[in-house]
Amino acid sequence: MAGSWRTKSSNNGIAVSSRKYNARVFALLLAFGVMLAARGWAQIEIGDKTNVSLSGDLGFGYNADYGNVQSSDHGTALNGDAVAQGYYFNPKFLNFFVDPIYNRSQANSGQGSITDASSVNAGVNLFSGSHFPGSISFSQAFNSSGNYGFGTTPGFTTTGNSRGFGIGWAELIPGVPPLSVQYSQSASASSIFGTSQEDQVSTKNLNMFSNYKLDGWYMGARFNDTRTHTDLPAVLTGDDESSIGDTSSKSLNFNANHKLPLRGSFGASYAWSDFGGENNGSTVSGSNQMISANAAFAPSSRFTTSFQLNYNSSLAGEVEQQLIGVGAVNPQVNLGQSSYSISMSNFDNVALTKSLSAGFSVGHIQQEVYGESVGATQLSAILNYRFMKPLWGTVVVYAGMNDQATEAGNQGAGLVAGANFSKQWSNLQLTGSFGYSQDTQTVLATQFTSNYSYMANAQRILGRRVRWLATFNGFHTGLGELAGSSAHSESYGTNLVYKMYNVGATYSHTSGTALLTANGLVAPPGTILPILPGNQFLLDTGSSYSVSFTANPVRRLSFSTSYTRTTNDNLTAALTSNSASKVFLVFTTYQFRKMVFTAGYTNLNQFVSASGLPQANYSNFYVGLQRWFKAF
């Protein structure tokens, strides 16, 4: 592990040591002893105008790691974190902070990384008390572990490095439209435990924003330019080579709002977007413009009405932008040479009684798709009923129907229904919800989707200082006429708490169509399966369960342990892959005065069939001392 001095064992079992190693250990012990004896100082001044404070934690202990993903070693090492902050002349003129972390992991500090990770975060704020404030930020992380998720379930454990930089500036002159400009760039490279392939992502982003009020008009404008480089390894794509892509995306938005009589308002907006990219030699580009206007009125407390008008110059470009937003590499949607859309709609809501209300809507949409002009008219009506009874608690139910008709005839009616429930007894609290929507119109006028979701939470007091908690939620969505487009997910969790003891368990399962991105598998947005380079669309099934236990049996003593197991199977056009991961963690601390005794153990087993390599195994053990300090 970087930054530590170790005693390594050779193949014949003879320990390798040196005077230089012993001298380093002695120096570290001496520095640690001095830190133990040090007393906190007040914030110091450097010169006449600079004020700085420094505090943090410093640790020293014995560390050992072993497994088949790296050579086994052991030895003594430093670890710690600090917070340095201050200002020059005046906090509103220039203030700054630096937060370094060195060799921190779940085993020696309870932090999120399985491996010994180091990082630094720093920032400067300039002229915060003026009309031209600015800021600069920087971050760098080394050897930090992460997770390549499978939908809502955990996935591969990864380790890698990342870097980020940002700069911002604003103009805030009274009487002049304000302007905010932000530029950032980031890069990360991580490898999956048990494979030799890296997942790389780098991004550059420019964002400009302004809003202003003039003669009762509230106006805003935003410009965004994002450039992304993505490298998906072959172990994920299922191809013989990695999927490398470069994408450039630009967008410009204007909006304006104004009050109207009858407690009304008017709003209008214009949006332009454009993107282009390259993936393994193939290029793709697209653009679209969107114009919208709306007006809403509330002539009485019982009646509200609103009208909307929308124009979209390219439905294909809209879906492509949605896919780029979640990490797709250069998507290409083909809806013909032209795919525009124009729609009009009206929505009304009437409060019939204190507990009963009704909503009505009518809308028409006209589109050109695949060279043909298609239109559809949609009607819907929904009743909402809310009641509060001592026996039932608070209940809100709604139900309604929607109906679609096109030039080809009536497309059939769909059901919309749902309920929300909340009830508090003396020692039991229940909340829950359910929603169902059938044959809801999607981006395409003649394509419909259905979905349902559910959620339940329970909390019961079982006795003095004993509580039980449980949660359950899930969703299902998909296009009825497009096989393989559905996605399903659900999760369960429960905890039993007694005084300072907590035992918990979770289970989650996900299945269906997923989109392969650099940050994991995600549910694809939009409703059209586009053309994507490589195997970026796949069928995925994954499940995960975990158990955990935490305790504070006596004052200043804490103990925690957890076990997580994840399995996953996915199918692409060129590859069927399965994977499994098991992570076991133990961590304990005991505080005395300003000292903290720390011990921890981590074990990771991970298998990825697509890599062609055997199961990866990694274990880490740590025991040592830490001390809080405030240097100045």
Tokens of 442: 């999607």
Contacts of 438 (CB under 8 A, 6+ apart): 402, 414, 415, 416, 450
Q: Residue 18's pLDDT is what?
A: 40
Reduced to 3 states, what is the DSSP secondary structure of residue 159? strand
pLDDT for residue 343 is more than 80: yes
Higher per-residue confidence, 611 vs 135:
135
H helix intervals, 400-457: none
State yes or no: pLDDT of 518 exceeds 50.
yes
pLDDT at 150: 57
Nearest of 535, 546, 543 to residue 579 by alpha carbon:
543
Percentage of residues in the chain having pLDDT higher than 90: 31
Can you give the length of the chain in residues?
632
pLDDT of residue 450: 77
Residue entry with tokens 């048990």: 194
% of residues, the chain, pLDDT over 70: 74
- What pLDDT is attached to residue 40? 39
pLDDT at 39 over 90: no
Write out the H or E segment, with its range, that includes residue 257.
strand 243-260
Cβ atoms of 527 and 442 within 8 Å: the answer is: yes
SS3 498: strand
For residue 455, give both structure tokens: 């959620």
pLDDT at 116: 77
Distance in angstroms (rounded) separating the CA atoms of residues 230 and 518: 7
Q: Which residues of 63-90 are buried (b: 16+ CB within 10 A; e: fewer)?
A: bbbebebeeeebbbbbbbbbebbbbbee
Q: Which of 163, 231, 161 is nearest to 517 (CA)?
A: 231
Give the model's pLDDT for residue 6.
35
Beta partners for residue 166, in sequence order:
137, 184
Residue-level pLDDT at 108: 63
152: pLDDT confidence band, cut at 50, 70 and 90? low
Give the residue-averaged pLDDT of 477-498.
Answer: 76
The yes-or-no verdict on residue 13 having pLDDT over 80 is no
pLDDT at site 361: 92
The pLDDT score that the predictor gives to residue 505 is 96
pLDDT at residue 17 tops 80: no
Q: Are 103 and 116 in contact (CB under 8 A)?
A: yes
More confident of the two residues 593 and 263 = 263
- When pLDDT is averaged across residues 186-190 and rounded to a whole number, the result is 89
- pLDDT bin (cut points 50, 70, 90) of residue 626 is confident
End-to-end alpha carbon distance in the chain: 30
Helix (H) or strand (E) holding 23: helix 19-37
Position 182 scores a pLDDT of: 97
pLDDT of 497 higher than 80: yes
More confident residue, 281 or 436: 436
Q: Give the pLDDT of residue 612.
A: 67
More confident site: 5 or 319: 319
Q: Which two tokens stand for residue 564?
A: 């997580």
> Which has more pLDDT, 573 or 396?
396
What is the spatial distance between Cα 199 and Cα 235, in angstroms, rounded to a whole number? Answer: 10
What single string gives the DSSP state of each residue in 484-517? T--EEEEEEEEEEEETTEEEEEEEEEEEEEEEEE
| Rg for the chain, CA atoms, rounded | 29
> 605 falls in which pLDDT band (50, 70, 90)?
confident
* Span 477-499, average pLDDT: 77
Q: Which residue has the higher pLDDT, 154 or 542?
A: 542
Supply φ then ψ for residue 234, to 5 degrees.
-60, -25
Q: How confident is the model at residue 7 (pLDDT cuts 50, 70, 90)?
A: very low
Q: How far apart are CA 448 and CA 441, in angstroms?
A: 5
How far, in Å, CA of 74 to CA of 501, rounded? 33
**Dist. CA 122–CA 164, nearest whole Å:** 10
Q: Which residue reads 């008008």 in tokens?
A: 309
pLDDT (tens digit, 9 = 90+) per residue, 198-247? 778 899 999 999 999 988 899 999 999 999 888 876 666 555 566 777 88
Q: Name the band, by pLDDT with cuts 50, 70 and 90, for residue 567.
A: confident
pLDDT for 463 equals 85
Give the residue, 552 or 198, on which the prediction is more confident.
552
Token pair 């896919």 in the structure block, residue: 323
Bigger pLDDT: 409 vs 83? 83
* 467/604 Cα distance (integer angstroms): 32
Give the 3-state secondary structure percentages of the chain, helix then strand then coil, rounded to 5.
5, 70, 25
Say if residue 603's pLDDT is above 70: yes
What DSSP state is assigned to residue 353?
Answer: S
- Could you tell me which residue, 149 or 344, shows the higher pLDDT? 344
Higher pLDDT, 477 or 70: 477
Q: What is the pLDDT of residue 311?
A: 93
User: Tell me: the pLDDT tens digits for 267-294?
Assistant: 999 999 888 877 766 777 778 899 999 9
Mean pLDDT of 353-359: 90
- 419 vs 277, which has greater pLDDT? 419
Q: What is the structure's pLDDT at 235?
A: 61
Work out the pLDDT band at 29, boundaries 50, 70, 90: very low
pLDDT at 234: 62
Instruction: Locate the DSSP E strands across 327-483.
Output: 341-351, 356-369, 372-389, 393-406, 409-424, 428-441, 448-463, 466-479
- Nearest Cα residue to 139 out of 88, 185, 204, 182: 185
Q: What is the pLDDT of residues 289-327, one digit of tens each?
A: 999 999 999 999 899 999 999 999 887 777 777 777 666
Mean pLDDT of 540-564: 89
What pLDDT is stored for residue 377 in this prediction? 85
